[in-house]
Amino acid sequence: FSIISYVHHLLILLISGAIVVYMYLVIGILKVWGSILMRILYYKVAFWMVLMIYLALMSIVYHVINAIYKLPTVAGLIIVILLSVAICLYGFINTFCLTIDRVEVIIPGMPREVTIAHISDLHLGPIYNQTYVSKLVKILNESKPDFVVITGDLFDGTMKLSYDMIKPFNKFPNKIFYVYGNHEEFVNAEELDSALEKSKIIHIQNEVIQFEGFNIVGIDFGLGQKNLLEELDKFNLPTNTPNILLYHGPMNTADELEEKNINLHLAGHTHGGQLFPGQIVSCLLFKYSRGLHPSSSKKSYVYVNMGAGTAGAPMRIFSSMQISYITLKPKQQY
């Protein structure tokens, strides 16, 4: 590489670092005000931060290709910039496209067929607000699931929260069950408790509740992060009743959870990688990154929702905003 190339990469890294610092300052301001102007600023900073990252990645790709084929410098620079901008614009537009995933799972002992609407990682805050929740609730009401589960990171933790953020959920007629994710650790506990008390969202806090002939196990992220399997041992879950686990992170395999009598684990946290090459990182860090994964015997399953919001930059590249519908069917139907 030439000296100009090294200077080029150094400048990109310095600018990226400056934007990251600037973004954290913006987040600090959002916690206090959270105005429309601040939301616009958040979008602007996030876009430029991701653009700098992709400029750096595209520059590396360009230099690798250039070492083999000797591409024109000016044309290469233009291509790098245009590709980076196009990728970022695609990622931004992609967040407005909510996808629906429908899966069916056979659960022995289910008293009847049940459809669960599974949402996760809304990250309500400066970007996703009451208006967005109203849109989600409208979709949920039209699809008429038996109940809804929210597997963590309902709030982003980057601004002051209020009951108004989740008020539209009260328009959903059936039960809504919820467990904390890692971002709830950044939220003011009193504000969170106050908001939940006014809403119809049921926080299952490290306990088991019986619901229509099966058990719903809810474990908050902080507690399960220490050792989820040990926490499950404390419940002494029955083998003759279906057990549905709500836990934010896909930390264990379906085979491990089957040994603890878990029939289905509903999770989120990974965002499906959110931004490429995050998918690679996600697969390395977690047991599963997205979708449905059965145990060897197909008696236990883990389902990972990609999330209905975003963390950090409001962009998605090779991942989708998602609502999932999981239909649990009794074994005797087959």
Summarize the chain as % helix, strand, coil (round to 5).
Answer: 45, 20, 35
What is the side-by-side strand order in the sheet with 147-151? Answer: 98-106, 321-329, 114-119, 147-151, 176-179, 201-203
Tell me what pLDDT residue 225 has: 72
CB 49 within 8 A of CB 313: yes
In this model, does residue 134 exceed pLDDT 80?
yes
Give the residue with greater pLDDT, 2 vs 227.
Answer: 227
Q: Kindly tell me if the per-residue pLDDT of 44 is higher than 80.
A: no
Q: What is the pLDDT of residues 213-260, one digit of tens each?
A: 999 999 999 877 778 999 999 999 999 999 999 999 999 999 999 999
- Predicted confidence band at 48 (pLDDT cuts at 50, 70, 90)? confident
Q: Check whether 289 has a pLDDT greater than 70.
A: yes
- In the predicted structure, residue 27 carries a pLDDT above the cut 70: no
Cα separation, 109 vs 243, whole angstroms: 10
More confident residue, 333 or 188: 188
